[in-house]
Amino acid sequence: MQTEIKSGAIYVYEAPVRVWHWVNALAITLLAVTGYLVANPLPTLPGEASDHFLMGYIRFVHFAAAYIFAVAFLGRIYWAMVGNTYSRQLFKLPLLRLSFWQELLHEIRWYAFLEREPKKYAGHNPLAHLVMVAIITVGGVVMIVTGFALYAEQTGLGSWQDRLFGWLIPLMGQSMDVRSWHHWGMWVIVVFVMLHVYVAIREDIVSRQSLISTMISGWRTFKDDRP
């Protein structure tokens, strides 16, 4: 698909990518909050548990958000195949390109305040590109697989969740091992989200291109005409 360009701006993030980004953000927030509460249940409420069913509702929200996250992830894979060049960045890294590593080092130095000026990028800069693939793509697959493997214990033997993901539990040892990896994965993503928000605000202020507004409008604009 051809990239759309107008004076001083490039159409980077198409509508499906932007919708996925915000749906993903909401799903991750719900998953992290409810996941924490599932692992650390609230104090017992007075009366019969069936009268308030609080943890049941929390688990339902967790499972519903997990389905939204998984379906949105599949939709994102589809759009990477039919969307523009930038929609595919989430699923591939130019690891064999020397300039990628050189620019990655430059970005690390920029974030460490060792460079006076950042470079301009239409899509993700190399450091953001690497982290997004590692956390969102690889991490997302890990969370989906481990999450549905645990969910298969609820749906029972022979369910589609058990047939597709039930093999993971004996492979990793036991249910508690999978649960631990799933829980640690949650904390990795929580830390990533905090850094992601900090970097998005920081780069929107000090970088040479738009960032937050791009994820709303889709258009990347630049603050100067220099290369």
Q: Tell me, yes or no, whether 5 lies in a domain.
A: no
A 10 A CB-CB count for 120 gives 15
Burial of 226 (0-12, 13-18, 19+ CB in 10 A): exposed
First to last CA, the chain: 25
pLDDT at 146: 97
The pTM score is 0.89
pLDDT in tens, 59-114: 999 999 999 999 999 999 999 999 999 999 999 999 999 999 999 999 999 999 99
Please check the confidence at residue 3 and state whether its pLDDT lies above 80: no
Distance separating alpha carbons of residues 118 and 100, to the nearest angstrom: 15
138: left (phi over 0), alpha (psi -120 to 50) or beta: alpha
Q: Tell me, yes or no, whether 148 lies in a domain.
A: yes
Q: Tell me, yes or no, whether 1 lies in a domain.
A: no
Q: Tell me, yes or no, whether 3 lies in a domain.
A: no
Please check the confidence at residue 1 and state whether its pLDDT lies above 70: no
Q: Tell me, yes or no, whether 116 lies in a domain.
A: yes
Q: How many domains does the chain have?
A: 1
Phi, psi (rounded to 5 degrees) for 209: -145, 165
Beta bridge partners of 220: 10
Q: Which of 152, 107, 110, 114 is nearest to 131 (CA)?
A: 107
pLDDT at 11: 94
CATH of the domain at 102: 1.20.950.20
Please check the confidence at residue 13 and state whether its pLDDT lies above 90: yes
Q: Tell me, yes or no, whether 88 lies in a domain.
A: yes
In the chain, the amino acid numbered 135 is I
- Quote the percentage of the chain above a pLDDT of 70: 96
Domain coverage including residue 210: 11-41+52-222
pLDDT in tens, 158-212: 999 999 999 999 999 999 999 999 999 999 999 999 999 999 999 999 999 999 9
Q: Tell me, yes or no, whether 46 lies in a domain.
A: no
Q: Tell me, yes or no, whether 102 lies in a domain.
A: yes
